[in-house]
Amino acid sequence: MAETIKSTGLRGQSAGNTEICTVGKSGSGLTYRGYDIQELAEKARFEEVAYLLLKGELPARQELNGYISQLQRSRGLPEALKKVLEQIPSDAHPMDVLRTGTSMLGNLETEQRLEEQQAHADRLLAVMPSVLNYWYRYSHFGERIETETDDTSVGGHFLHLLHGKPASDLHARVMNVSLILYAEHEFNASTFTARVCASTLSDLHSCVTGAIGSLRGPLHGGANEAAMEMISRWSSPDEAERQILGMLERKDKIMGFGHAIYREFDPRSAIIQAWARQLAEDVGDTHLYAVSERVDEVMWREKKLFPNADFYHASAYHFMGIPTKLFTPIFVCSRLTGWCAHIFEQRANNRIIRPSADYVGPEKRAWVPIEQR
Ligand SMILES: CC(=O)SCCNC(=O)CCNC(=O)[C@H](O)C(C)(C)COP(=O)(O)OP(=O)(O)OC[C@H]1O[C@@H](n2cnc3c(N)ncnc32)[C@H](O)[C@@H]1OP(=O)(O)O
Ligand SMILES: O=C([O-])CC(=O)C(=O)O
């Protein structure tokens, strides 16, 4: 029995090799192709990190400039995809919109051969903010927006499409860091979904569509939205503390805390926390950031549970005027890079992923005719 519980959720079991990322190893505990997350968040552009993950090495200056131009040129939406997006109601969850948008794109720009995989991954990276914001602005405000902007960064472009004006330097900087932090995380649930799908030799759009479905859940990417809904209910740190103690008493899950691999801290949290603090000062926030810090303190004091990547993303995104339901879709715009890198890796050394199950159902028994049941 103890063995069954331990192995639930495949925890602690290796499911394969990867050259892309380490999680929970020495140092800061998170590296992308050998580069430490802290250094990447401080020094890199997201487009450089995307290049690193998808193509294996950091780009030289010319390669980076070329990549940025390529992404800029690939932001347009086919008319048939716009038509589909216009059919999706305003109360749909935006993760469902991305799932449908990716799937539709797979019908319009189908991956035919393995050699096309890089081009399709780059296209998805360029076009995902367009899919989301075209639907959002049309369904909520009746506007058919132009999705091609001059913005050089994916993060700045995203905010530009959302708000209809170029992002401030501070907001573009925070989006850059956020997209880097969310880009890759080894065999997490959504990436594993993508790899399982890739292992059947399916197409890239199917792998990404499945991964979006896995990321949507509140135990994974959906936790940033759930954390925002939770902290926005409380108007002071004292109220937050009372409510959290009550939730812990009732054995409720506190969204944005804990992790399947990290045991003491998630190295991404302190990085986005510092930006959330700066944004709080920038907008003159009077309580939301303080509420977040108090929840963090109480969770550590009571349970030795720490904020994961999602918790401080909630207040950071909120301070940039991003609607809560778009939080997890931003995660998609970033994690696409990790998913696609893993799809490539799986394809390069493939064997169909097909584990076994321990049967715990009824013993073999006799068929009962329907009249006798
Ligand atoms: C980007 C990301 O996807 S990061 C993860 C985002 N998800 C969340 O923030 C959702 C909240 N967190 C959780 O549900 C979990 O911590 C998970 C899903 C992330 C990890 O789950 P597990 O690997 O099963 O967690 P773990 O084995 O560390 O749990 C140990 C104990 O702490 C408890 N625990 C873990 N996280 C929490 C939490 N956020 N709130 C309350 N209790 C928790 C578990 O219930 C478990 O208690 P038990 O031993 O009495 O059953
Ligand atoms: O690794 C995990 O299980 C979840 C996570 O933090 C991520 O996907 O970024």
Closest CA to 170 of 283, 313, 8: 283
- What residue's CA is closest to ligand 2, atom 9? 185
108: number of CA atoms within 13 Å, CB side? 16
Q: What is the arrangement of strands in the sheet containing 30-32, beginning at the earlier edge strand?
A: 21-23, 30-32, 35-36
**Ligand 2 lined by 335 (C-beta under 6 Å):** no
What mean pLDDT comes out for the span 43-50? 98
164: left (phi over 0), alpha (psi -120 to 50) or beta: left
Indicate the average pLDDT of the chain.
96
**Ligand 1 lined by 59 (C-beta under 6 Å):** no
Task: Give CA separation, 155 vs 172, 309, 331, in Å.
Answer: 6, 18, 11
**Ligand 2 lined by 119 (C-beta under 6 Å):** no
Please name the amino acid found at residue 96. D
Instruction: Tell me the CA–centroid distance for residue 110 and ligand 1, in Å.
Output: 38
Which two three-digit tokens encode residue 334?
A: 């970033």
Pocket test for ligand 2, best of 30, 185, 265, 334 (most atoms within 8 A of CB): 185
- What residue's CA is closest to ligand 2, atom 1? 188
What mean pLDDT comes out for the span 22-45? 92
Instruction: Say if residue 2's pLDDT is above 60.
Output: no
Please give the model's pTM, rounded to 2 decimal places.
Answer: 0.97
**Ligand 2 lined by 217 (C-beta under 6 Å):** no
Report pLDDT for 8. 87
pLDDT grade, residue 4 (50/70/90)?
very low
Residues sharing a CB contact under 8 Å with residue 43, sequence separation 6 or more, in sequence order: none
ipTM over 0.85? The verdict is yes
Instruction: Tell me the CA–centroid distance for residue 185 and ligand 2, in Å.
Output: 5
Helices (H), 200-266: 204-215, 223-231, 237-249
Pocket test for ligand 2, best of 53, 212, 261 (most atoms within 8 A of CB): 261
Q: Indicate the pairing of strand 21-23 with strand 35-36.
A: unpaired
Alpha carbons 373 and 367: distance in angstroms, whole number: 10
Q: How buried is residue 239: exposed, middle or buried, by Cβ count under 10 Å (0-12/13-18/19+)?
A: middle
Report pLDDT for 7. 60
- What residue's CA is closest to ligand 2, atom 3? 188
Q: What percent of the chain has pLDDT over 70?
A: 98
pLDDT digits (tens, 9 = 90+) for 313-355: 999 999 999 999 999 999 999 999 999 999 999 999 999 999 9
**Ligand 2 lined by 58 (C-beta under 6 Å):** no
Report pLDDT for 100. 98
Instruction: Tell me the CA–centroid distance for residue 34 and ligand 1, in Å.
Output: 27
pLDDT digits (tens, 9 = 90+) for 193-223: 999 999 999 999 999 999 999 999 999 999 9
**Ligand 1 lined by 258 (C-beta under 6 Å):** yes
Alpha carbons 163 and 322: distance in angstroms, whole number: 9
pLDDT grade, residue 25 (50/70/90)?
confident
Q: Indicate the pairing of strand 30-32 with strand 21-23.
A: antiparallel
Looking at ligand 1, which atom is closest to the CA of residue 252?
41
What mean pLDDT comes out for the span 16-23? 96
Alpha carbons 127 and 85: distance in angstroms, whole number: 13
247 within 8 A of 254, measured Cβ to Cβ: yes
What mean pLDDT comes out for the span 22-33? 87
Report pLDDT for 1. 41
Ligand nearest, relative to CA of residue 257: 1
Instruction: Tell me the CA–centroid distance for residue 200 and ligand 1, in Å.
Output: 30
Q: How buried is residue 55: exposed, middle or buried, by Cβ count under 10 Å (0-12/13-18/19+)?
A: middle
pLDDT digits (tens, 9 = 90+) for 156-181: 999 999 999 999 999 999 999 999 99
Instruction: Tell me the CA–centroid distance for residue 43 and ligand 2, in Å.
Output: 22
What mean pLDDT comes out for the span 67-72? 98
pLDDT digits (tens, 9 = 90+) for 293-302: 999 999 999 9
Instruction: Say if residue 17's pLDDT is above 50.
Output: yes
Which two three-digit tokens encode residue 78?
A: 């086919």
Q: Where are the beta strands (DSSP E) in 2-140?
A: 21-23, 30-32, 35-36
**Ligand 2 lined by 309 (C-beta under 6 Å):** yes
Report pLDDT for 12. 86
Helix 117-141 × helix 154-163 angle, to 10°: 20
Report pLDDT for 6. 56
**Ligand 2 lined by 188 (C-beta under 6 Å):** yes
Q: What is the largest CA-CA distance in the chain?
A: 76
Instruction: Say if residue 3's pLDDT is above 70.
Output: no
Looking at ligand 2, which atom is closest to the CA of residue 260?
3
Q: Known catalytic residues? A: 220, 259, 310
What mean pLDDT comes out for the span 256-263? 96
Instruction: Tell me the CA–centroid distance for residue 36 and ligand 1, in Å.
Output: 25
Task: Give CA separation, 238 vs 235, 251, 287, 288, in Å.
Answer: 9, 20, 11, 12
